[in-house]
């Protein structure tokens, strides 16, 4: 009798524990999107009347005629074209359109707060993932962490922290005179120096490494066509970064710097303004992505004086930016791998999608331009299993627009619905 009572008590206890366990494990939240048109960015086919089932933050299934689960939240996008969330692989999310001496008045804390605003605006524009390539004081690391913790809204971020630069190079601080001994966070020279700096930047939270392989446009005292880091220095950076699981993006305008950076093994060339046939061949041989930043020329050249840009920088821009369009168009025609990036901060954040129309003007099809901002950028970031398509297992990052972006790519400048990880960020289809 005693054993029987113990057995009954044990069964009761197990039943109670099972009930408590069931109550402790939340039921997955199910959201369903009725997509009138869904663009398959891999094939370019537009699929009609698709049902996208989302559980928590991931896509569970996609198809037509799918049974909608009972109790699911249904989002009606039956009049819209649905695409995967867009990716921008070249932003400066903590920076604003301040160039020259006005930048000296922006503190590290202010830059971080600017980043919080810019992140919200960028997400609202349909860019659910970004790669940030250069920020002072690891402000982009802090912003990434705040977004991941749910403290502030913003896109998913992969960040570089400070960009590596030679002393006096494009990514150094060249505005103040000698007696200030001013130097940017990422300055390092020589093979040993760049190895130490690469490891330090990774130590403080960088997801990737950004290097300045040539001079730049919006910097004082340097030549965009001149190489800065040597081939040996760049090989050392890439070797350490890749061994430690980080990719490398190289700011490079001049042809020699592009060629050396690709030979060194960087994952992407940013800008590529003076890319020539030899640099194109080197990039194709090595599978290096080109991330041209093109729309910025339209906005910057129209607004440079109004925002107080120093004449020296305007002069460089008037020379480099038109040349970039001619040379990048040749690279497009030659078939280099193309990623989508904007250099947002050279113009106001949130206008990122204006890049699509310029890419099409220079020779890409609308589909190729969209692929650059989805499957290509996902590959460049190393996130092909997470973002870039509307497929089962991917994060539920979805945008929607009116019309057909394959017929008019500028529709992507007017995103009306944004979802990140199953959470609705914007829905202008609800009246």
- Please say if 343 is a catalytic residue: yes
Token couple for 280: 């194109």
CA pair distance 213, 229, nearest whole angstrom: 5
Pairing of strands 127-132, 156-159: parallel
Helices and strands: H and E segment counts in the chain: 12, 15
- Please say if 2 is a catalytic residue: no
Where is 82: in which H helix or E strand?
strand 73-84
Q: How many other β-carbons are positioned within 10 Å of the β-carbon of residue 64?
A: 11
Task: Please identify which residue in the block is written with the tokens 């993006």.
Answer: 249
CA pair distance 86, 240, nearest whole angstrom: 30
Judged by DSSP in three states, 77 sits in: strand
What φ, ψ does residue 176 adopt, rounded to 5°? -95, 150
Choosing from 140, 185, 267, 343, which is the catalytic residue? 343
Choosing from 172, 197, 207, 210, which is the catalytic residue? 210
Nearest 5°: the CA angle 106, 341, 419 is: 90
Give the residue from 67, 60, 75, 65 showing the smallest Cα distance to 399: 75
The DSSP 8-state label assigned to residue 289 in this structure reads E
Judged by DSSP in three states, 259 sits in: helix
CA pair distance 308, 190, nearest whole angstrom: 36
Where is 52: in which H helix or E strand?
strand 46-55
Token couple for 9: 């008590």
CA pair distance 186, 237, nearest whole angstrom: 12
Judged by DSSP in three states, 33 sits in: strand
Task: Please identify which residue in the block is written with the tokens 């199953």.
Answer: 422
What φ, ψ does residue 369 adopt, rounded to 5°? -65, -40
Where is 95: in which H helix or E strand?
none
CA pair distance 192, 411, nearest whole angstrom: 49
Catalytic positions are 210, 343
């Amino acid at each position: 009798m005693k054993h029987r009572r113990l057995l009954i008590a044990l069964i009761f206890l197990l039943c109670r524990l099972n009930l408590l366990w069931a109550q402790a494990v939340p039921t997955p939240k199910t959201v369903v999107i009725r997509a009138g048109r869904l663009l398959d960015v891999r094939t370019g086919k537009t699929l009609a009347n698709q049902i996208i089932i989302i559980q928590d933050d991931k896509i569970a299934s996609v198809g037509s005629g799918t049974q909608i689960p009972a109790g699911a939240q249904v989002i009606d996008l039956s009049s819209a074209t649905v695409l995967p969330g867009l990716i921008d692989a070249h932003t400066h999310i903590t920076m604003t359109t301040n160039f020259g001496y006005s930048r000296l008045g922006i503190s590290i804390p202010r830059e971080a707060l600017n980043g919080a605003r810019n992140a919200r605006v960028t997400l609202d524009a349909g860019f659910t993932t970004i790669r940030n390539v250069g920020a002072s004081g690891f402000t982009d690391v802090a912003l990434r962490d705040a977004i991941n913790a749910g403290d502030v809204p913003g896109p998913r971020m992969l960040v570089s922290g400070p960009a590596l630069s030679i002393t006096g190079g494009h990514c150094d601080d060249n505005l103040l005179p000698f007696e200030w001994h001013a130097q940017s966070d990422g300055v390092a020279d020589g093979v040993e120096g760049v190895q130490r700096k690469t490891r330090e930047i990774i130590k403080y939270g960088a997801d990737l490494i950004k290097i300045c392989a040539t001079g730049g446009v919006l910097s004082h005292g340097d030549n965009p066509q001149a190489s800065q880091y040597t081939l040996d220095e760049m090989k050392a950076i890439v070797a350490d970064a890749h061994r430690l699981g980080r990719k490398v993006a190289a700011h490079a305008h001049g042809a020699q710097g592009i060629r050396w950076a690709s030979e060194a093994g960087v994952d992407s060339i940013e800008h590529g303004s003076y890319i020539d046939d030899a640099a194109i061949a080197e990039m194709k041989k090595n599978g290096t992505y080109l991330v041209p930043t093109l729309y910025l020329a339209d906005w910057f050249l129209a607004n440079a004086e109004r925002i107080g840009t120093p004449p020296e920088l305007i002069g460089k821009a008037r020379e480099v930016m038109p040349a970039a369009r001619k040379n990048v168009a040749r690279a497009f025609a030659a078939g280099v791998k193309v990623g989508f990036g904007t250099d947002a901060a050279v113009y106001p954040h949130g206008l990122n999608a204006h890049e699509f129309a310029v890419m099409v003007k220079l020779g890409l099809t609308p589909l190729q331009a969209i692929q650059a901002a989805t499957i290509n950028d996902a590959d460049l970031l190393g996130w092909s299993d997470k973002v870039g398509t509307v497929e089962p297992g991917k994060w539920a990052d979805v945008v929607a627009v009116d019309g057909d972006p394959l017929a008019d790519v500028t529709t992507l400048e007017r995103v009306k619905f944004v979802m990140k990880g199953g959470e609705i960020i914007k829905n202008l289809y609800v009246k």
